[in-house]
Amino acid sequence: MMNILSKILDVILPPRCISCGKVLNAKDGVCEECFNNINFISKPHCHKCGMPFENVVSNKEIMCGLCIKDKKPIFRYGRSALRYDDFSKNMILAFKFMDKTENASTLSKWMFAAGKDIFSSGVDLIIPIPLHYTRLLKRKYNQSALLAKKLGKLASIKVDYSSVIRAKKTKPQVEFSGKARLKNVKNAFGVKHQNKIKGKRILLVDDVYTTGSTLKECAKVLLKSGAASVDFITAARTC
């Protein structure tokens, strides 16, 4: 029955490329032309934070300068699927602000592939970066929660939507740069159910990694609440 229904739906509403809108033969994703325009982050990248390296040829696990210097790293590992360029920006902005929620399924598949090292190291719980409730009311959905839900299904890992809350309403990070971003999100998060966090290897999910301020601030409260480790996966990162 579901098969017939999905076939009828494919005729009425055929799957389209999430980037340019062209009708696809495949179930979901992007058309061939768009696929060739996507800058996936692949090795070599920093083994720790996932930052892609330019002009480096290596099959070894190497770290970036920042991670080498960081004596008290907040994250165990971080990975991002795509470089944040004009191309991925369009896909992500449409997903975030223009109700293109169906983009979550393609983006999460890429994130799942990018997070291979993280999943093989063991993850107990996936947590999306929460939105403040006033912003959630305005936007109607939390894009990170949609990504986390799909990722949880692909990895067969539980997703926790309620243990971390956005306690403080912060201004959008795009209005700030550098240290001001850190200040903007300071004390933005709180942990509601500490017992669900304690001893857990947690994977944080967000759409874009820019300076990492939001993810770091959220990770800090999780570690304070006794999380065993915190990783992150984002759909894209700016560098």
Is there binding between residue 49 and Zn ion (CB under 5 A)? yes
Give the interface segment with Zn ion, choosing from 10-18, 80-88, 119-127, 227-235 (CB under 5 A).
10-18
Give the interface segment with Zn ion, choosing from 51-59, 169-177, 210-218, 225-233 (CB under 5 A).
51-59
User: Would you say 51 or 131 has its CB closer to Zn ion?
Assistant: 51
* Smallest separation (angstroms) from Zn ion to the CB of 26: 11
Is there binding between residue 19 and Zn ion (CB under 5 A)? yes
How far apart are alpha carbons 135 and 126 in whole angstroms?
A: 22
User: Would you say 67 or 182 has its CB closer to Zn ion?
Assistant: 67
How far apart are alpha carbons 197 and 228 in whole angstroms?
A: 8
**Exposed e or buried b for every residue in 9-31, given b needs 16+ CB within 10 A?**
eeeeeeebbbbeeeebeeeebbb
Give the interface segment with Zn ion, choosing from 44-52, 82-90, 123-131, 225-233 (CB under 5 A).
44-52
* Smallest separation (angstroms) from Zn ion to the CB of 124: 23
Is there binding between residue 31 and Zn ion (CB under 5 A)? yes
Is there binding between residue 48 and Zn ion (CB under 5 A)? yes
Q: Are 127 and 203 in contact (CB under 8 A)?
A: yes
Is there binding between residue 214 and Zn ion (CB under 5 A)? no
* Smallest separation (angstroms) from Zn ion to the CB of 24: 8
Task: Please give the C-alpha separations between residue 147 and each of 3, 72, 119, 216, in angstroms, as whole numbers.
Answer: 25, 28, 16, 19
Is there binding between residue 91 and Zn ion (CB under 5 A)? no
Structure tokens at 98: 């223009």
Is there binding between residue 20 and Zn ion (CB under 5 A)? yes
User: Total binding residues for Zn ion by CB under 5 A?
Assistant: 12
How far apart are alpha carbons 4 and 105 in whole angstroms?
A: 22
Within a 10 A sphere around the Cβ of 228, how many other Cβ atoms?
Answer: 15
User: Would you say 19 or 234 has its CB closer to Zn ion?
Assistant: 19
Q: Are 190 and 165 in contact (CB under 8 A)?
A: yes
Is there binding between residue 45 and Zn ion (CB under 5 A)? no
64, 136, 154, 167: residue in contact with Zn ion (rule CB under 5 A)? 64
Q: Which residues, in sequence order, are CB contacts of 131 under 8 Å at separation 6+?
A: 139, 142, 144, 166
Within a 10 A sphere around the Cβ of 4, how many other Cβ atoms?
Answer: 8
Residue ranges in contact with Zn ion by CB under 5 A: 17, 19-20, 22, 31, 34, 46, 48-49, 51, 64, 67
